[in-house]
């Protein structure tokens, strides 16, 4: 193809499949918790708007979950097919962590998902709520184990190497490795943020096209509260995570900052933009802010961080890439903060649902949570290079002995299939989103949404909403 080596092809394949995959679990984590909150509110307050939102988002959740399951299946086997030396070397640590993920999380999610999605009329309300909670809990447990495993690869400890393979010595140290708490919190918040942005964008879109039903308003409002609260927390957590990385993976930070060497007596500037050049060993076209690098990274105006030149060339991550992926993530984070603050301002002025520019901005921000997640993962994973287990095993020693032909064949298969399958899936998800929340009926007759009105159960509280009125007269999506 492009004269790529088997190693590069295997890396591209992993990067491609895992990037596609992470999108779905991120939304799964966020939506599962959102569904639990919605059902809890419905049971607590009895307002139908929460029940209708629950059923609306659970349909989208179902499609998303299916895509997460099948794309995750690929990941579970790819360690063996493509990274067999890594698996036989470190499987004694990553294997048990993955097994715990399957046992404590995947089964919990899958076991209760059926009831949560299809059991509304089959089990009682509290049992159904319990099922929803178990699904949400499963997603969070899952994140915990997989980030434990990933963090161990980033900052390994609690093991020794016997006969050329890893032997765990202290499992508490393995799991609670130095970067684990930061990564777990950062990723979980990222999932919530990405979901809030997605929910917020769909709410804003419905409002803009004149469907400002109570359900739509509620979801927009809930999403904006979430973004307002969570975006600043995420920025603080990210800062702490950066300090942790500086302590344990200084080469990664140097690459992220495009920082090649320290000048004695001078502070580290923050390079806003530039093009780090790996062969010339400098960052070209750099626009710098003096002192700020020292201040952000060491919280000290005169602090120094190691430069890339302090590491042997074969131990340096690719600064050109991670410099930019990191800035993309941070830039989007700032825009999220702005969105949250703007929503607060409009809320205070009472025009959250009327400000067109704001609504358009919220729509544009819809996918940015996911983009930021991808950018962040690219930064941390490419920043770990050239190691697969940091400082212990190099990526080039981890890859299976497949030919470039076998790998490019499977890579092409994956690319074609993923775009076809998951592209279609995402388009179905967006189609469902476009329909907007409808009043849920316990015994839906075949027919259009408007026809549901007379058969709605009497128990449904008539007070808080009347979305049907808003929907009539509107064109179908």
Partner 1 sequence: MGIDLPLIWAIIIGFGLMMYVVMDGFDLGIGILFPFVGDREDRDTMVNTVAPVWDGNETWLVLGGAAMLAAFPLAYSVILSALYLPIILMLAGLIWRGVAFEFRFKADEAHRPFWDKAFAWGSYIATFSQGVALGSFINGFEVSGGAYAGGALDWLTPFSLFTGLGLVVSYALLGSTWLVMKTEGTLQRRMKELARPVAIALLAIIIIVSLWTPLAHPDVADRWFALPNMIFFAPVPVLVLLVTFAILRTLRRGTAEAGPFVLALFMLFLGYSGLAISLWPNIIPPSISIWDAASPPESMGFTLVGALFIIPFILAYTAWSYYVFRGKVKAGEGYH
Q: Are 330 and 293 in contact (CB under 8 A)?
A: no
CB of 403 to partner 1, least distance (A): 6
- The candidate with the shortest Cα–Cα distance to 166, out of 95, 262, 216, is 95
Rounded-to-integer distance, Cα 210 and Cα 470, Å: 9
The CA-CA-CA angle for residues 268, 274, 280, to 5°, reads: 85
Rounded-to-integer distance, Cα 307 and Cα 320, Å: 15
Rounded-to-integer distance, Cα 156 and Cα 258, Å: 25
Q: Which CB sits closer to partner 1, 112 or 324?
A: 112
CB of 420 to partner 1, least distance (A): 9
Element (H, E) at 168: strand 165-168
Cross-strand pairs, 56: none
CB of 453 to partner 1, least distance (A): 21
Rounded-to-integer distance, Cα 132 and Cα 178, Å: 33
CB of 54 to partner 1, least distance (A): 15
- The candidate with the shortest Cα–Cα distance to 86, out of 164, 188, 191, 5, is 164
- Residue 340 has a CB neighbour count (10 Å cut-off) of 23
Q: Which CB sits closer to partner 1, 62 or 286?
A: 62
CB of 432 to partner 1, least distance (A): 7
CB of 434 to partner 1, least distance (A): 12
Rounded-to-integer distance, Cα 475 and Cα 211, Å: 10
Q: Are 308 and 320 in contact (CB under 8 A)?
A: no
Q: Which CB sits closer to partner 1, 72 or 307?
A: 72
Rounded-to-integer distance, Cα 290 and Cα 271, Å: 9
CB of 23 to partner 1, least distance (A): 14
CB of 424 to partner 1, least distance (A): 7
Rounded-to-integer distance, Cα 398 and Cα 19, Å: 20
The CA-CA-CA angle for residues 328, 412, 430, to 5°, reads: 55
Q: Which CB sits closer to partner 1, 118 or 273?
A: 118
Q: Which CB sits closer to partner 1, 168 or 250?
A: 168
Q: Under the phi-then-psi rule, with left for phi > 0, alpha for psi from -120 to 50, and beta for the rest, what region is 391?
A: left
Rounded-to-integer distance, Cα 317 and Cα 325, Å: 13
Q: Which CB sits closer to partner 1, 202 or 319?
A: 202
CB of 259 to partner 1, least distance (A): 38
Tokens standing for residue 318 = 């690719």
Q: Are 392 and 384 in contact (CB under 8 A)?
A: no
- Residue 420 has a CB neighbour count (10 Å cut-off) of 10
CB of 235 to partner 1, least distance (A): 35
Element (H, E) at 276: strand 270-277
Residue position matching structure tokens 């890579």: 411
How far is CA 192 from its chain centroid?
8
Q: Which CB sits closer to partner 1, 176 or 361?
A: 176
CB of 381 to partner 1, least distance (A): 20
- The candidate with the shortest Cα–Cα distance to 299, out of 367, 226, 243, is 243
CB of 97 to partner 1, least distance (A): 8
- Residue 58 has a CB neighbour count (10 Å cut-off) of 24
Rounded-to-integer distance, Cα 68 and Cα 75, Å: 11
């Amino acid at each position: 193809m492009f004269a790529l080596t088997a190693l590069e092809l295997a890396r591209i394949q992993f990067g491609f499949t895992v990037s596609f995959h992470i999108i779905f679990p991120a939304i799964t984590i966020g939506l599962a918790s959102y569904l639990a909150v919605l059902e809890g509110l419905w049971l607590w307050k009895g307002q139908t708007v929460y029940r209708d939102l629950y059923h609306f988002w659970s349909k989208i959740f179902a499609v998303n979950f299916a895509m997460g399951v099948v794309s995750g299946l690929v990941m579970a086997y790819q360690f063996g097919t493509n990274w067999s030396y890594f698996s036989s070397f470190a499987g004694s640590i990553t294997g048990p962590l993955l097994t715990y993920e399957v046992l404590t999380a995947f089964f919990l999610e899958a076991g209760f998902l059926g009831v949560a999605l299809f059991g509304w009329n089959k089990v009682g309300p509290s049992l159904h709520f319990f099922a929803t909670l178990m699904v949400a809990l499963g997603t969070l447990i899952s994140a915990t184990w997989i980030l434990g495993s990933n963090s161990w690869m980033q900052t390994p400890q609690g093991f020794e190497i016997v006969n050329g393979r890893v032997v765990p010595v202290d499992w508490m140290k393995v799991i609670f490795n130095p970067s684990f708490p930061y990564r777990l919190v950062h990723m979980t918040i990222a999932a919530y943020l990405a979901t809030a942005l997605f929910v917020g964008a769909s709410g804003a879109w419905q409002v803009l096209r004149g469907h400002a039903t109570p359900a739509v308003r509620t979801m927009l409002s809930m999403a904006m509260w979430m973004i307002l609260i969570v975006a600043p927390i995420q920025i603080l957590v990210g800062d702490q995570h950066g300090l942790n990385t500086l302590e344990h993976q200084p080469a990664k930070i140097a690459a992220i900052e495009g920082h090649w060497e320290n000048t004695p007596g001078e502070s580290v500037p923050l390079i806003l933009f530039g093009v780090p050049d790996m062969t010339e060993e400098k960052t070209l076209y750099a626009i710098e802010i003096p002192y700020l690098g020292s201040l952000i990274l060491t919280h000290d105006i005169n602090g120094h961080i190691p430069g890339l030149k302090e590491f042997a060339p074969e131990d340096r991550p690719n600064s050109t890439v991670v410099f930019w992926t990191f800035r993309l993530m941070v830039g989007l984070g700032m825009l999220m903060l702005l969105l949250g603050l703007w929503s607060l301002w409009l809320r205070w002025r009472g025009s959250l649902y009327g400000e067109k520019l704001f609504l358009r901005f919220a729509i544009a921000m819809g996918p940015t949570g996911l983009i930021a997640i991808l950018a962040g993962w690219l930064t941390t994973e490419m920043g770990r290079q050239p190691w697969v287990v940091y400082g212990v095993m190099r990526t080039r020693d981890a890859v299976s002995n497949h030919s470039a032909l076998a790998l490019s064949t499977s890579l092409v298969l994956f690319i074609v299939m993923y775009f076809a399958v998951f592209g279609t899936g995402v388009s179905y998800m967006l189609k469902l989103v476009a329909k907007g929340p409808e009043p849920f009926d316990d015994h839906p007759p075949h027919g259009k949404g408007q026809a549901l009105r007379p058969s709605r159960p009497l128990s449904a509280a008539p007070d808080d909403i009347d979305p049907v009125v808003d929907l009539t007269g509107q064109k179908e999506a």
